[in-house]
Amino acid sequence: MELISYVALAAGIIIGLGACGACIGIGIMGSKYLESAARQPELMGELQTKMFLLVGLIDASFIIGLGIALWFTTTNPFLAQLAQVAGH
C-alpha cells in the first residue's frame, strides 16, 4: 500500500467516526429533550434554546474534524516525514 492510501484511509475514519459520534450525540440529546419537555412543558422554551446551542457545538466538532481530514487529503504536512521513515 502506498503512503497516500493510508492518508485516505485515516481521513475516511476521521469523517466516519466523527459523523457517527455527532449523530448519536444529537439523537440522545433530542430524545432527552423530548422526554423532559413531556415531563415539564413549561420549561420547553428554555430547554429548546439550550438544545439548539448544544446541537451547534456538537456539529461544530464534526465540521472541524471534516476540515482536518480534508486538509490532510489535499495538502498533507506529514507526508514527507512518513516517506522518510518508510524509506520511500
Q: Which residues are catalytic?
A: 59
What's the Rg (C-alpha) of the chain? Answer: 20
Cβ–Cβ < 8 Å for 1, 76:
no
